[in-house]
Amino acid sequence: MGDEFRTVGAGCRTKKIAIINVKVYAIALYVEAEKGARELGIRDRGGFFETEDDYCSALVDGGFLKALQIQLVRDVDGGTFVDALNEALQPRLSLSGELAVLDTFKAFFDGKKLSNGTNIVLLYRGDGTLDVVVKDKQDTLDKASPDLSIPSAGLCRALFEIYLGTTSLVPDAKKEWAKGAKELLDSDKVRRDTRKGGSG
């Protein structure tokens, strides 16, 4: 599937029901470690990074593999799950004229029963293909085979932007992902400094 993946951070999606914030799912972001670090290093040397949004934008824009792994913490039907995403995705894909791919994405989840503990992996490939994997248990990303593949850079970008963009659905997780991107960048700096020192 690619190089070794590294988790950049995790958080929770919550929804207010009455006056109580209820956890809906946990969400983690993974990236190809070596390629991601190298690309962040190039951007850093170009003076790209100033804010958390800059780090998260670099994760979305990067040409390396990245994946969002969503683990449900309650039973939900697929239609309800995807309808919540559709509200955020539709305006973005309407602008790009890609509502048909959104229909394909939605149709995949319609009628599915997603139980507590189900893992949904959304893999954004470098060629703009979205791979979707739904598993009852957590699998390592390099062993997961897609249940659905949609060739749409617009859908990939829209999905990742609703989580990593300025109006993130998971603002607490976004802070962790920005922090994880900084750590990934630091690993690139260490690698380059080690090589300069002649020991790598």
- For residue range 182-200, what is the model confidence (pLDDT) as tens digits? 999 988 776 666 665 554 4
- Which pLDDT does position 139 carry in this prediction? 59
Kindly report, residue by residue over 105-144, the tens digit of the pLDDT. 999 999 999 999 999 999 999 999 999 999 976 555 556 6
* pLDDT beyond 60 at 46: yes
**Phi and psi at residue 22, to the nearest 5°:** -110, 135
Our count of domains for the chain comes to 1
Domain with residue 119: its CATH number is 3.50.70.10
Q: What percentage of residues in the chain have a pLDDT greater than 70?
A: 88
Q: Are residues 58 and 37 in contact, defined by beta-carbon separation less than 8 angstroms?
A: no
- Which pLDDT does position 22 carry in this prediction? 79
- Domain membership of residue 73 as a residue range: 5-196
- Which pLDDT does position 15 carry in this prediction? 78
- Which pLDDT does position 199 carry in this prediction? 45
Q: Which residues, including other chains, have CB under 8 Å from residue 92's CB and lie 6 or more apart?
A: 154, 157, 158, 161, 162
